[in-house]
Amino acid sequence: MKLMAGNSNLPLASAIAGYLEMPLTRANVRRFADEEIFVEILENVRGEDVFVLQSTSYPANDNLMELLIMIDALRRASAKRITAVLPYFGYARQDRKPGPRTPISAKLVANLITTAGANRVLSADLHAGQIQGFFDIPTDNLFAAPVMSSDIQTRFSGKQWMVVSPDVGGVVRARALAKRLDNAPLAIVDKRRERAGESEVMNIIGHVEGRFCILIDDIVDSAGTLCNAAAALKAAGAEDVVAYCTHGVLSGGAVARVDASALSELVITDSIGNHAVIAESAKTRHLTIAPLLAEAIKRIADESSVSSLFD
């Protein structure tokens, strides 16, 4: 088994390698003068089971091309099996046609990864479960809920928890976390999105007065939805509001928006390598999913059960 990493999230890759007690495969991933990507693998990988770690986060297109070229290089170097490990799967929000003459980019990216030569995909908290079906190769979707629930129980024990979904579409995710938190009660924020990147909170479904509210979502991008939801929860009498999100995209002025919001804390995992951005925030912190990904990689290599991680 070998572990190879692109440039998108080297701290996470190093943490996974440390957990597995193995070095990262030596490779040269660089740019030509015109920004073309060049990959050279500096070790023999013939007949090896290779895991390629790369989040397709900002800059999404560069990181995606890096991943595709690394997979192609491994295939041409006669690797036995290539598993694309995507802690964050970019383009996942384009998983359907919301209107006429629009693409389903998540399916296109799935096709590109498969065509490049990947034999298997491992990701975390895909934006929509049906994306697994976009791949014609085995695909494992890990959940960050166990890591989050452990952190909540450690830091906020004794509180009157209430898990809150920021929209109707996230109810299944919120219910799964609530179940892990001793079947905590559930609330839903009913919102209406007038245009992309903007949201308006309309109503709170559930009694949140005096409760310690935990907002749960898979992706935080502009943070507008979370900040509006936190303000609405506070207005409805919530004792405090924290947010847990797997993928911290945090584009534009998201960090400043979170720091100025009613949120007490925003907790994101390290699926995206934006550590410099987080360091500037007074309210945002990282929660590592390196042990979760490393354990899944180990089980795939050993041909043992991945789903039992969540039993």
Contact yes or no for 259/281 (Cβ under 8 A) = yes
pLDDT at 42: 97
Tell whether pTM > 0.85.
yes
Encode pLDDT of 10-49 as tens digits: 999 999 999 999 999 999 999 999 999 999 999 999 999 9
Would you list the domain boundaries of the chain? 2-143+291-310, 145-288
Q: What residues are paired with 31 via a beta bridge?
A: 37
User: For the chain, how many residues are written?
Assistant: 311
% of the chain surpassing 70 pLDDT: 96
What confidence tier does 311 reach under pLDDT thresholds 50, 70, 90?
confident
What confidence tier does 278 reach under pLDDT thresholds 50, 70, 90?
confident
Q: What sign does the CA torsion over 102, 104, 106, 112 have?
A: negative
Q: Taking Cα atoms as reference points, which of 149, 133, 153 lies closest to residue 141?
A: 133
Binding residues, as ranges, are 34-36, 93-94, 127, 167, 193, 217, 221-225
Residue 196 clears pLDDT 90, i.e. is over it: no
Q: Give yes or no: 107 in active site.
A: no
Contact yes or no for 273/57 (Cβ under 8 A) = yes
Residue 49: other Cβ atoms inside 10 A = 18
pLDDT at 277: 79
Q: Tell me the CATH class for 145-288.
A: alpha beta
Encode pLDDT of 218-274 as tens digits: 999 999 889 999 999 999 999 999 999 999 999 988 999 999 999 999 999 999 988
Binding residues for ATP, as ranges, are 34-36, 93-94
Q: What residues are paired with 151 via a beta bridge?
A: none
Binding residues for D-ribose 5-phosphate, as ranges, are 193, 217, 221-225
Which residue shows structure tokens 């994306």? 131
Output the CATH code of domain 2-143+291-310: 3.40.50.2020
Q: Taking Cα atoms as reference points, which of 214, 220, 230, 216 lies closest to residue 197?
A: 220
What confidence tier does 132 reach under pLDDT thresholds 50, 70, 90?
very high
Least confident of 176-180, 271-275, 303-307: 271-275
Pair of tokens at residue 164: 């809150």
Contact yes or no for 176/214 (Cβ under 8 A) = no
DSSP string, the chain: -EEEE-SS-HHHHHHHHHHHT-PBPPEEEEE-TTS-EEEEE-S--TT-EEEEE----SSHHHHHHHHHHHHHHHHHTT-SEEEEEESS-TTTT--S-SSTT---HHHHHHHHHHHHT-SEEEEES-SSGGGGGG-SS-EEEE-SHHHHHHHHHHHSTTS-EEEEESSGGGHHHHHHHHHHTTS--EEEEEEEEEETTEEEEEEEES--TT-EEEEEEEEESS-HHHHHHHHHHHHTT-SEEEEEEEEE---TTHHHHHHTSS-SEEEEETTS--HHHHHT-SSEEEE--HHHHHHHHHHHHHT--SGGGG-
pLDDT at 201: 59
Among 80, 191, 234, 298, the one annotated catalytic: 191
Mean pLDDT of 89-113: 95
